[in-house]
Amino acid sequence: MLTDQWVDTSGSRPITERIELDYDELIKDFIQTRQWETQAVEAFHDHSMIEVIYEELARDYVGIMRSVQSFLGVDEEIVQPETHKQSSRPLAYSIINFNELRKKFLGTPWETFFEEG
């Protein structure tokens, strides 16, 4: 929302701005996202599913895509992403109040969102 750039297809303009996040807004967003995930699982409970975790996809694109293609039963084909990460900076740098949020989320289901590594 800060830059109004929703997809980066060129890879030429990484986001460098730092932002401050509101704890209460994050809680609302985390809860809403968890509800959407639960609804999706419930909607497809009679179907085979594969879970793709963004961080794993970013770390091992080729391996994850191989798993997805195998799951779909299609011939393996090397594919490349057509979009780029908007920022490769660590969260602790990108979020001004990262340490404060990490402390507040400690012991919650969302504490893993504030791990660096």
Instruction: For the chain, give every domain's residue range.
Output: 23-114
Residue 114 neighbours by CB distance under 10 Å: 19
In the predicted structure, residue 117 carries a pLDDT above the cut 60: no
**Residues comprising the chain, all counted:** 117
11-69 pLDDT, tens per residue?
776 667 888 999 999 999 999 999 999 999 999 999 999 999 988 998 899 999 999 99
Q: Which residues in the chain belong to E strands, given as ranges?
A: none
> Whose CA is closest to 38, among 51, 57, 24, 25?
51
Q: How many other CB atoms sit within 10 Å of the CB of residue 65? A: 18
- pTM exceeds 0.85: no
Question: How much is the pLDDT for 14?
Answer: 64
